[in-house]
Every structure is written in C-alpha cells, then in structure tokens.
Amino acid sequence: MDKILNPGKELNKLLNPGKEAVTSNLSIIKLIGYTFLPCGQIVARVVDLDGSLDMPWFFLPPFLFPPFQFIPLLLMYLGYIKKGNGGKVVDYFVFIPIIVKLITLGCLYMIKLYADSFYNFAYFGFEILMILTIAGTKYLHVSESCKYTNKKILLTSSKVQEFFIDAIFENGIASIGNIIINFIPGVGWVIGLIRQYNDTVNKFIIFFIYAVVYATVYIIQNMFEQTNMESMCNLLSIPISSWIKLGVGLFITVTLILYNFLSGMSIKGFGKSAMSNSTNILNKIKSVKLPTKLPNIIKRRKTMLPPILR
C-alpha cells in the first residue's frame, strides 16, 4: 500500500542506483492536491517540510502557481527538497491586513460612485493605512515568534524601521500581483477570462489575488527571518537586503499611485475634454450640407466622355 500512495522511495532507487533512497516528503495525493492549489508549494513547505527554504529560486512567481508549481512539488515528493528547522512562520495575524484591504476596497468603490473627485486622495490615504496596518502586523508576529522561542523582542530604532520597510515591500508586491499574474502562462489566461464576466467579479479577483500574494510574501519573509532568531528579536543594524526591499517596495508603491492619479486625470479631465472636442467636430461635420446636384462644369465634362463611360 505504501508503494502505491508513496512510491517516491522506489523512484529514488531507480534514479540513484546503489545509493540510499531519499525520504519522500509528500504523498502522491498531496502532490496532486498542492499542484492545483494557488501557492500550494508554500503550503507544502510550511505544513509538510517545516518551513523549508531549500532551493529558494522556486519562490519566483511562475513556480507559485500551476502548472510550473508541479516542478518544486515533484522535487519535494522525490525527497530532493530538504525539510526546514521549524518555527512559527504563519499565524492568525496574517488576516488583519487582508480584512483591512477588503474594507478599503469597499470604501474606494463607494467613493468612486458618490464622491469621484476625492478618489485619488482616498487611494493615497488607504495605501498609507495599509502600510501602517502591515507594520503593526509585523510587530505582532515578531513579538509572538520571540515568545515562542523564549526570547524577548527589543524595539530598537532599527527594528521599528525594518517593520515599516517590510510593510512597504509586502504591500507593494501584493498590489502589483494583479499585474504580474497576467504574464504567468495558463493562470494569466484563466484569470483574464474570469475578469471579463462582470465588474463585481473583477473586483473580487483583485482582492483575492492581493490576499493570496500578500499571505505568500508574509510567510516567505517569516521563513527567512526565522533562520536567525537573535537578529529577528534584537536587530541592531538594518541589513543591505532590507534596503533593497525598501527600494523595490517604494518604486512599486509610487509607480502605482502615480498611475492611478494619471489614469484618474485622463478620465475626469483630459478624457472628457477630448471627448467633448471630438463630439463638437463630428456635429459640425454632420451639419455641413453636401450639394444634391453636380456643378455645371462637372456636367459638361461628363458629356464630353465617350458614351460607354458616361
């Protein structure tokens, strides 16, 4: 029965003759189930591989969704991706920013309907709110993780700065997820097809993708941070990697805010004026009365033609 449900050991023997078989970390049922689950690879790493960071290049976006997600999952099934060191990489705090995002999207929708002129200011304000919310969530998670390992968090200035750096980075990546997913083969096509159903479905897709991408980035960051609990609970200086994350997060956030602002201007101002100008031109063209009779000179020239061409 074990050979049927978990034939990874037998396959390892065929691939590595004469060597001790590597223990399979997934069953065949989990391999199939995780393959079709968005970010199933991350779920497998947390649930079945104790927060494994082995082969981290598989954290790239194409390998987080089917069909390419099957590759790292197959390696887990064959036992080539090793287990991690454990730790508390996921908790209920992850739902706080997701709930706040749902509320802000609902508010933006109502503002778009009833107070369109304030939409850009509201969008900017809600982005700041999301960054503050995620920074607070990072503090709650780190505090809880330090207690989990019998350590105490020290709120140094570097640690507080890192909370906000992580918040800007995580919110930026989650926000741009709706754009990146369109370029993932297979998944992008399916998502694009669903978006076309109606506006309500499209808004739900936007929220769903943000939630999935945010939760994924949240978990991956926690997995990396918990490799060094001393630095996680008592950070004295900000590492270079954090400054890189800050640069990426700020670039994405500012770009999206500017894009949203300029798109709003084109719709509210330039778009309307251009549309009204084109409408006026069309009306003037329609008002021009074309002559119903040909001028005499044209008639005369027509009579000069051979009978067959008249």
Q: Is residue 277 predicted with pLDDT exceeding 60? A: no
Question: What is the predicted pLDDT for the residue at 65?
Answer: 84
More confident residue, 190 or 135: 135
Choice among 33-42, 131-140, 237-246, 282-291 with the minimum mean pLDDT? 282-291
Give the pLDDT score at 309: 47
Q: Say yes or no to pLDDT of 236 above 70.
A: yes
Give the Cα separation of 241 and 228 in Å (integer). Answer: 14
Rounded to two decimals, the pTM is: 0.73
Burial class (CB in 10 A: 0-12, 13-18, 19+), 42: buried
Average pLDDT over residues 272-281: 43
- Which is more confident, 170 or 188? 170
Residue type, 178: N
3-state helix, strand, coil in the chain (%, to 5): 75, 0, 25
Helix H or strand E segment including 54: none
33-37, 76-80, 186-190: least confident range: 186-190
pLDDT tens by residue, 195-226:
887 778 888 888 999 999 999 999 998 888 87
Q: Where are the domains of the chain?
A: 2-78, 92-271
Q: Give the pLDDT score at 184.
A: 79
- For the cut 80, the answer to whether the pLDDT of residue 310 exceeds it is no
Which residue has better confidence, 55 or 184? 55
When mean pLDDT is compared over 96-100, 241-245, 294-298, the highest value belongs to: 96-100
Q: What is the pLDDT of residue 207?
A: 92
In this predicted structure, what is the pLDDT of residue 172?
94
Distance CA 28, CA 46 (A): 18
pLDDT at site 21 = 45
| Mean pLDDT computed over every residue of the chain | 78
Looking at residue 108, its amino acid is L
pLDDT band at 17 (very low <50, low <70, confident <90, very high): very low
CA angle 244, 237, 145 (to 5 degrees): 90
CB 76 within 8 A of CB 25: yes
Among the ranges given (40-44, 173-177, 186-190, 251-255), the one the predictor scored with the smallest mean pLDDT? 186-190
At residue 289 the predicted structure's pLDDT band, cuts being 50, 70 and 90, is low
Residue 35 token pair: 């393959």
Residues in the chain: 310
The region that residue 271 occupies, defined by phi over 0 for left and psi between -120 and 50 for alpha, beta otherwise, is alpha
The pLDDT, as a whole number, for residue 281 is 45
Q: How confident is the model at residue 170 (pLDDT cuts 50, 70, 90)?
A: very high
> Can you tell me the distance from the alpha carbon of 310 to that of 308, in angstroms, rounded to the nearest whole number?
6
